[in-house]
Amino acid sequence: EHLTNMIAAGEVVERPAGIVKECVENSIDAGATVIEVEVYQGGIERIVITDDGCGMDHEDAHLAFMRHATSKMHSEEELFNIQTMGFRGEALPSIASVAQVELQTSNGEEGTLLRYNYGSLDVDETCNCPRGTKLDVSGLFVKTPARFKHLKSISYEFSVIADLMNKMALSHPQIRFQLSHEGRVVFQTSGNGNIQEILYQMYGKEVAQNAIPFEGNNEDFHIHGYAIQPKINRATKYFMFLTLNTRLIRSVAIQKAILDAYSDYMPPNRFPIVVLQMDSDTQLVDVNVHPNKWEVRLSKQGEMLDLIKTTIQDALNASLK
């Protein structure tokens, strides 16, 4: 069991940002409206994630650390109809196998405090805490030196976390996010749903003011988002924020469709910034491709790519006339 958890940890938590991703996704699934992430030493020393979500009772808190004990899926059919960020039930046991983890959680009644020390449960108490969940993860990979060795510099590890938090905020603009490093707040959103406001924080006024809204539909898909005016963008590489049914995804094919849409307008050495939110019937999506859930398989991908390309192209056309 401990060994299986450690193997899974290699797939889910390669680096501190992997822990942040899994825990923030859990907070989102718990219906949080405020999610705070505190990071020390790029997350290598310590990561604290606090949310105001539904929390857990004592029994659920224990179950959360059991392998494949997800509360989010109950049948085989649901695997092809996934509505939540998590569904594999391996993040918490994996993290607890390679770090020191303290969980404080309450569903509004008596709270629970659990402390795991590299896989073993050391503390199990009741506690006084507000409704929600706080997860404190420290000493990552200290007992697994081969993994520890693969961590990069503090500034690199932190930059991956910051990038992820930007994406999380863009994909869930109605949640209030806060990220701090060494006790200093470095990123904060209001949770008022305004994507342009988040772009302003990330890239400044010019980018935010030149964000062209777009929206498109076909029989199976609905897409919407913002494409930044090509001439404005001073990015040194492209920034494409892709979500499918609010899940952050990576897709080379979709990136290419966006580059195609921009191709007539892109001055040399300029790169698109695009926020693209895609919605589809969950039955058309298979998110169970890799444990880290970044990749998805989409039925009718060709249709989606056409829709993306033409919608963004039309929006750029209209705004540049």
Task: Decide whether 26 or 166 has the Cβ nearer to ligand ADP.
Answer: 26
Q: Which residues bind Mg ion (CB under 5 A)?
A: 26, 86, 91
296 forms part of the interface with ligand ADP (CB under 6 A)? no
CB-CB contact of 97 with 9 (8 Å): yes
Q: Which is nearer to Mg ion, 92 or 207 (CB)?
A: 92
* Least distance from ligand ADP to the Cβ atom of residue 175, Å: 13
Tally: H helices and E strands in the chain:
10, 15
Segment 88-107, which members bind ligand ADP (CB under 6 A)? 88-92
Interatomic CA distance for residues 52 and 54, integer angstroms: 7
CA dist 284 and 262 (Å) reads 27
Rule CB under 6 A: say whether 53 interacts with ligand ADP. yes
208-227 binders of ligand ADP (CB under 6 A): none
Least gap, CB of 173 to ligand ADP (angstroms): 20
Q: Which is nearer to ligand ADP, 4 or 310 (CB)?
A: 4
Q: Beta partners for 46? A: 40, 138
Residue 134 interacts with ligand ADP (CB under 6 A): yes or no? no
Q: Which is nearer to ligand ADP, 93 or 216 (CB)?
A: 93
Considering only 42, 86, 216, 225, the residue that binds ligand ADP (CB under 6 A) is 86
**Please, which residue, 87 or 200, has the CB nearer to ligand ADP?**
87
**Cα pseudo-dihedral 18, 22, 24, 27, rounded to 10:** -170
* CB-CB contact of 289 with 296 (8 Å): yes
Question: Does residue number 56 form part of the binding site for ligand ADP (CB under 6 A)?
Answer: yes
Residue 280 to residues 277, 299, 301: CA-CA distances in angstroms? 10, 10, 11
Contact 92/119 with Cβ under 8 angstroms?
Answer: no
Cα atoms found within 13 Å of the Cα of residue 163, Cβ hemisphere only: 12
CA nearest to 287, candidates 71, 81, 64: 81
Residues 70/89, Cβ–Cβ less than 8 Å: yes
Stretch that binds ligand ADP, among 84-92, 154-162, 197-205, 242-250 (CB under 6 A): 84-92
CB-wise, 51 or 273, nearer to Mg ion?
Answer: 51
Instruction: Give the one residue of 33, 71, 194, 310 binding ligand ADP; rule: CB under 6 A.
Output: 71
Verify binding: residue 52, ligand ADP, rule CB under 6 A: no
Q: In 3D, which of 148, 149, 133 has the Cα closest to residue 23?
A: 133
Q: Is 51 in the site for ligand ADP (CB under 6 A)?
A: yes
Helices (H), 32-73: 58-63
Contacting positions for ligand ADP (CB under 6 A): 22, 26-27, 30, 51, 53-56, 60, 64, 70-72, 86-92, 133
